Structure 1
Amino acid sequence: MESKMIWQIKNVKEKKITVLEIVKERLSLLERHKSCNAVICYDKKAVLEQAAELDNSIKEGKSSGKLAGAIITVKDNLEVKGLSATAGMKKYINNIPSQDCDVVKKLRDEGAIILGKTNMPAGAMDMQTFNDIYGRTNHPDFPEYTCGGSSGGGAAAIKLGISDADIGNDFMGSIRVPAHFCGIYGMIGTDRIIPLENIVGGKPYGSTMSDILRIGIQASDLSELHLLFTIIADESKIFPLKQNSGQLKIAYTKDCGDLPISKEYATCFTDFIEGLSAKYQVNEINQSDFDFQKSRECFLKLLYGNMSVSLPMIVRLMTGSKMSNKLKDYLNEEEKREECLAQLDKLMAEYDILLTPVTATAAFLHKSPVKTLGHQAIYDDILVDDTKVPYSVANMGYTTPFSLTANPIIVIPIGKTPKGLPLGLQVVGRRMHEYDLLKYAGIIAQ
């Protein structure tokens, strides 16, 4: 069955529907779901004019591109010509780019309509989506719950049908967590596969942490992820699709090194794994196969070391030993990162994909920070069943090991809680083998 976006593109080319009709429908949905607060900046007149121009080009028989009929939104820390790009930070409230970032330009060149900008937490520094400029974005189905972050506005817009896909970025789980919470698909490629530029608020210092920050895509269907990825990725950096005639080999971990996970999520995850075991070779891995704890600690030390470059001495002292500004300490952690990369590469040489949870729970009720340090909100613990778990552990413990290694990942929906909250999992692939990952994710998603 064709996805909605693929259907629209096909019917626009066959002149069965106009781009203008599609855009008007999406603008109507945007207005209807204003209370969700997913799309926070758009130019209605300009979007309608772009749609009409594209329709005229199609009527005249001109090339319309591979995405004519696709409606895309863009996270608020990426540049779109003529639309505010604030990253949720007041100091950028008057920042209106004069040009599109590279990814947006590629999409426009193929006929996509850029509907508007989607909400995010200030500086992309949270797993919930709210800021002092635009306020809070709610879960698309359960308004009292979070949609996740930091690419939360995009996930909500897709689930509500406002946009077909959203272009965002992921550093600690910012694409993956909202996709999991909202029940859609999310993808990030290997570092540098999708060009990283024009990040409002800046990217991390140095190449190591810049590799970890990656542009990504959220969509309602895997076929849409695949099409968009082929357009925005640098294919010269990707290995061709592997012709695998043998049985699919799947590794999994249900806890990424003894992390907490809710009973309802663990049950759903286990049921999904058992279903795969009936068809494929499926094996559980442990800490000796890949040191999840080491990778998490390494990620945090590299993050703190990177942050220390721009922070006053008094702040570094307040954070204690977590935030060393010594070059030797940072370089030691870079060496540990290489060890983690090598260990995961070895594991992935034995398996086609690795499956893991995304967070400890499904989406949770909106939480307010107990305090804020700069743009970083500090929270009290999350309840995982009846156990208190640190907010960062519950929401980033499962994602940061693969942030560190910058492996390609696709999040797919696998079920729902008894209440109806969506649940997903991470499908981790081999570095620079995105087309294999898309293929295998499609197989297990069936």
Structure 2
Amino acid sequence: MTDTPLHRRDALQIAEDIREGRTTAVEALAHFRDRVERLNPPINAVIAHDFDGAEEAAEGLDKLMARGYCLGPFHGVPMTVKESYDLTGYQTTWGDPALKGNIAATDAVLVERIKRAGANVFGKTNVPLNLTDWQSYNDVYGGCGNPWDPSRTPGGSSGGSAATLAAGMTGLEFGSDIGASVRNPAHFCGVFGHKPTYGIVPKRGHWKSPSMAPSDIAVCGPLARSARDLEAALLAVAGDDPVYGAGWELNLPKPDKDDLGDFRVALMTTSPVSDVEQEYQDALHDLADRLRAAGATVDEREPFKVDWELYHLDYFRLFRPVTHSRLPPEKFKWFQDEVAKLSDDDDSYFAMNARAGTITYYDWAAADTRRYEYRDKWNGFFRDYDLLLCPQAACAAFPRNEDEPREVRKLTINGKEVGYNDQLFWAGISGAVYLPGTVAPIGLGRESGLPLGVQIVGPFMGDLTTIRFARLIEEAFGGVQTPPGFE
């Protein structure tokens, strides 16, 4: 083995070490087990594990390797998955105490496929209640801290996923994303994350029991310590749904550019809906300067002219019915009653959220029609530009606030108090219109010392291009850094 410890290597490097005989699947698992047992308690990112069962699986993987059989690109790599995925023998609760004891009898399709690619899944990672927060705490498992500063959030809803990766306690992770739930934790924890084009990764086995209907906007995607891991993990699980995928074939376009200097990108650093902390904007401008020096064309502009406040409101009208559909009937009825009491001029977050979550199909269909108008605008933008670069949130990871409800929380951005949920704009800019988005680390904030990431938005089915650009950034300017205390 090289002098670089396993937890500082990406998953593909670990698999290569196993193939080349520099380590074994059993030794790799033991390495990560030691780190989980020593380093997890302060951040509570890994909330369930079965190391004994995983050791048996690792022994089997090593026997296959000894006979010359390699299952796939991640053969022997120890990994975890977000709590919301069904994993045989583990409970799936989405952080909801009412679902304690809900033991999965089978693996989610994604879990089954990543195992087929050789990965050894040894545990699950923390989430917020019902996967609906940019913090990760719940009454089943407790709260999760950010390895860079445990008093700050790791993000959500795949907060445990990103924290576990950043802390070097797993080789690979999978999360899910409807409101930046992959992208936001990747940004806050300084790792790579990818939100796929809607519909290309099956969600079967990632639903809150007893629902079986795949929801609008929501996707399943990987988090990793390198961009190349993102690509390999995406390709390992993407494809048709095993029940409803008859006649369906995925053929993602291959990137046609291999150098940063070949790209033409637009940079958007703030919006009328969500201002962005100056430290973060400065980091994005610094990235733009480095890209220009590498030969890329970078234009600082919006992707197109549109009413961004309406765009954001339409995102809420499209995704809040998804989250509200998971509520108990009495809670949904309560929201309906509250909406009836609202004054017409109430534009608070609670009012916007409640109205969107109880929307009529007539109004939902109007928002859906506008979504396709927005998609046409994006298509026009991508005729002139390869990618849009933008923030993933309003700031770096903020202090944990597990006492106040989301509706009343505030953040201070550029000296001004703003709504906690305004920054969902950066989730919806690509999510509402089904576009892929990759988050790549771009360094630490000059004042905060916390990780910052760039969101790379690409055209429909342009997943491999956004990941390629992330990899070129990583190779040119550096990638994942190690939090102090987790070396």
TM-score, length-normalised on structure 2? 0.85
Percent of matched pairs sharing the same residue: 26
**Partner Cα separation in structure 1 for residue 318 and residue 210 of structure 2:** 14
User: Does the CA-based 8 Å contact 1:39-1:117 persist in structure 2?
Assistant: yes
Alignment of 1:277-426 (within 5 A): 277-278=292-293, 279-286=295-302, 288-306=304-322, 312-319=332-339, 320=342, 322-323=355-356, 324-371=358-405, 377-394=406-423, 396-417=424-445, 418-426=447-455
Of 201, 209, 228, which aligns to 1:223?
228
User: Does the CA-based 8 Å contact 2:10-2:224 persist in structure 1?
Assistant: no
Count of residues paired in the alignment: 438
Q: Secondary structure at the match of 1:274?
A: helix
**Residue 58 (1) aligns with residue 65 (2):** yes
The answer for the alignment partner of 2:480 in structure 1 is none
User: Does the CA-based 8 Å contact 2:147-2:167 persist in structure 1?
Assistant: yes
Alignment of 1:27-426 (within 5 A): 27-33=33-39, 34-201=41-208, 210-234=215-239, 236-244=249-257, 247-257=262-272, 259-278=274-293, 279-286=295-302, 288-306=304-322, 312-319=332-339, 320=342, 322-323=355-356, 324-371=358-405, 377-394=406-423, 396-417=424-445, 418-426=447-455
CA deviation vs aligned residue, 1:346-377 (integer Å, no higher than 9, x gap) = 11221111100011110011113424xxxxx4
- Deviates most, 317-326 or 401-410: 317-326
CA deviation vs aligned residue, 1:212-265 (integer Å, no higher than 9, x gap) = 100011101111111111111129334331434993111110114462111211
Give 1:188 shift: 1.3
- Deviates most, 194-203 or 429-438: 194-203
**Partner Cα separation in structure 2 for residue 286 and residue 258 of structure 1:** 13
Q: 1:241 to 1:146 in 2, by over 3 A?
A: same
Aligned residue identity for 2:367: E
CA deviation vs aligned residue, 1:2-24 (integer Å, no higher than 9, x gap) = 94322221121122211100101
Give 1:76 shift: 0.6
Give 1:325 shift: 3.7
Q: 1:50 to 1:366 in 2, by over 3 A?
A: same
**Partner Cα separation in structure 2 for residue 110 and residue 314 of structure 1:** 46
Q: Secondary structure at the match of 1:303?
A: helix
TM-score, length-normalised on structure 1? 0.92
User: Does the CA-based 8 Å contact 1:38-1:153 persist in structure 2?
Assistant: yes
Q: 1:82 to 1:314 in 2, by over 3 A?
A: closer
Output the aligned Cα RMSD.
2.3
Give 1:317 shift: 2.6
CA deviation vs aligned residue, 1:305-350 (integer Å, no higher than 9, x gap) = 4556655444213134724542211111111111111111211221
Give 1:285 shift: 2.1
Q: List alignment gaps of at least 5 residues for structure 2.
A: 241-248, 343-350, 477-487
Q: Secondary structure at the match of 2:454?
A: strand
Q: Secondary structure at the match of 1:199?
A: coil
Q: Secondary structure at the match of 2:421?
A: helix
**Partner Cα separation in structure 1 for residue 144 and residue 11 of structure 2:** 24
Give 1:211 shift: 3.7
**Partner Cα separation in structure 2 for residue 138 and residue 115 of structure 1:** 21
Aligned residue identity for 2:396: A
Give 1:203 shift: 9.9
- Deviates most, 64-73 or 328-337: 64-73
Q: 1:291 to 1:197 in 2, by over 3 A?
A: farther
The answer for the alignment partner of 2:471 in structure 1 is 442
User: Does the CA-based 8 Å contact 1:257-1:287 persist in structure 2?
Assistant: no
Q: 1:141 to 1:294 in 2, by over 3 A?
A: same
Q: 1:347 to 1:202 in 2, by over 3 A?
A: farther
